[in-house]
Amino acid sequence: MVLDEIQHILIIGSGTMGQQIGLQAALYGYDVALYDIDPAALETAERRVGAYADGLVASGRIDRAQAGAALARMTYTDDPALAARDADLVSESVPENPELKAGVFAQFDELCPDRTIFTTNTSSLIPSLFAEGSGRPERLLAFHFHQMVWDSNVVDIMPHPGTQPELVPLMESFARSIGQVPIVLQKESYAYVFNAMLNALNTAALTLVANGVVPPETVDRAWMGVMKTGIGPFGILDLVGLDTVWHIIDYWANQTGDSQLRANADLVEGYMDEGRLGVKSGRGFYSYPDPAYARPDFLGGDLPDFPPA
């Protein structure tokens, strides 16, 4: 298969990541079908994709015509057979659960043409966990995006030992064709490259709060004040989505039996129980659309000038 033969992209799971990946591919000229098991999720997805496109227009990144053309290339369906019919490439973004992912790939293995490449956007799992279950291990690999795909435009490409080797350079070309910088891993490794570093930061941040050392805002104030970034660990967790964060920590707490990871998962679960899922629900560690960390006084605006007058 060559790059020109990839034209129809099927996104499975129309949540936070499916929406962004779908719009990104459509902006670069691909036909995109978003499939979800939940019709209500598809309605939300169509609205959010429109809002993302509006935001890109408002910030001058694209013009109205480009937005309109991309949106016209996108379809939304809860009919798996219809979604699968023409797919050249699948990008899977269902919740972070290896059995669920294997089941979804097995379902689409029956429905997709033989040529279809299966990619997973898993954050913290490795494709060999569900390669056999997928029904087509040789056509499966990880192709992992980072949240806000048009800004954080890096993708991890991670084959498993049974992936056809020629898929790696093909997916590198595909990544570039949708404006993403490809990072190829030489071997399977949990959490890829950037996320491996980010997870360590997030674990440290959650541990400080779960152990009652400081509240979330103080963690972010420390990080943002030293690193001079516009967002800290808890703002990032809100962006990721606290249900997605919980799935990841819960998985690793179960795998390792680590009591600190369990305490961190329980902390996040407490927010979820109150319906606080982060940016996507309007409330997480912060309230949206105007989170406290984005306000000018967040870092302690009452300091004297430097140098003092």
Ligand X SMILES: NC(=O)c1ccc[n+]([C@@H]2O[C@H](COP(=O)([O-])OP(=O)(O)OC[C@H]3O[C@@H](n4cnc5c(N)ncnc54)[C@H](O)[C@@H]3O)[C@@H](O)[C@H]2O)c1
Instruction: List contacts with ligand X (CB under 6 A).
Output: 12-18, 36-38, 41, 93-96, 104, 121-123, 145, 147, 240-241, 243-244
Using only C-alpha atoms, what is the Rg of the chain? 20
Report the residue number, 15 or 216, with the smaller CB distance to ligand X: 15
* Smallest separation (angstroms) from ligand X to the CB of 19: 8
Whole-angstrom CA distances from 192 to 127, 131, 144, 159, 189 are 11, 17, 8, 11, 6
* Smallest separation (angstroms) from ligand X to the CB of 287: 19
* Smallest separation (angstroms) from ligand X to the CB of 96: 4
Report the residue number, 122 or 202, with the smaller CB distance to ligand X: 122
> By beta-carbon distance, which residue lies closest to ligand X?
15
> Token pair for residue 244?
């997605």
Q: Decide if 71 contacts 54 (C-beta within 8 A).
A: no
Q: Decide if 235 contacts 220 (C-beta within 8 A).
A: yes
* Smallest separation (angstroms) from ligand X to the CB of 221: 23
* Smallest separation (angstroms) from ligand X to the CB of 305: 38
Report the residue number, 164 or 281, with the smaller CB distance to ligand X: 281
Q: Decide if 144 contacts 123 (C-beta within 8 A).
A: yes
> Token pair for residue 40?
């209500």
Report the residue number, 3 or 111, with the smaller CB distance to ligand X: 111
Q: In whole angstroms, what separates CA 254 from the centre of its chain?
A: 22
Report the residue number, 172 or 238, with the smaller CB distance to ligand X: 238
Report the residue number, 98 or 162, with the smaller CB distance to ligand X: 98
Sheet containing 8-12, strands listed edge to edge, beginning at the edge strand earlier in sequence? 74-77, 31-35, 8-12, 89-92, 117-120, 140-144, 154-159, 181-184
Angle between helices 242-256 and 259-273 (to 10 degrees): 150
* Smallest separation (angstroms) from ligand X to the CB of 121: 4
* Smallest separation (angstroms) from ligand X to the CB of 137: 18
Q: Can you tell me the distance from the alpha carbon of 246 to that of 146, in angstroms, rounded to the nearest whole number? A: 17
Q: Can you tell me the distance from the alpha carbon of 92 to that of 14, in angstroms, rounded to the nearest whole number? A: 9
Report the residue number, 69 or 193, with the smaller CB distance to ligand X: 193
Using a 10 angstrom Cβ sphere, with 0-12 exposed, 13-18 middle and 19 or more buried, the burial of residue 300 is exposed
